[in-house]
Amino acid sequence: MKLRLLTAAAVITLALNSPWLLESANNNCAALERLGSRQLLNDDATEKDVALVAAGLAALSDGRMAATMAGRQRPGVPPTLTCLAAYWSKRTGGPAS
């Protein structure tokens, strides 16, 4: 029973912290911004100067822009969890909301 609880705790901890670890960011919202910036830069349809400005703003905001947008989108949910869900949605190709 203790092993199952420890395993569950480890999986939950890894799931909650994996985005910022994968993106070398300080938090989940910063990881979401980095992922979005990277996808913009790799998208052929995006103007490169717009993508570079977005990447620069994301680097300066350190997740604050994504956290603000997350708070506006889902006021009852902590921004960290909203950013986490949006990160995995974007990463797996689903609709980012």
79 falls within a domain: yes
73 falls within a domain: yes
pLDDT of residue 40: 80
26 falls within a domain: yes
22 falls within a domain: yes
Q: Give me the domain span that covers residue 58.
A: 2-91
Task: Give the integer Cα–Cα distance in Å for 8 and 21.
Answer: 19
54 falls within a domain: yes
Q: What angle do CA 78, 84, 90 make, to 5 degrees?
A: 135
60 falls within a domain: yes
Domain count of the fold of the chain: 1
pLDDT of residue 17: 82
pLDDT of residue 96: 54
97 falls within a domain: no
Tell me the pLDDT of the chain (97 aa) as tens digits. 889 999 999 988 888 888 888 888 889 999 999 888 888 877 776 677 777 787 788 778 889 999 999 989 999 999 999 999 999 998 888 765 4
84 falls within a domain: yes
pLDDT of residue 45: 67
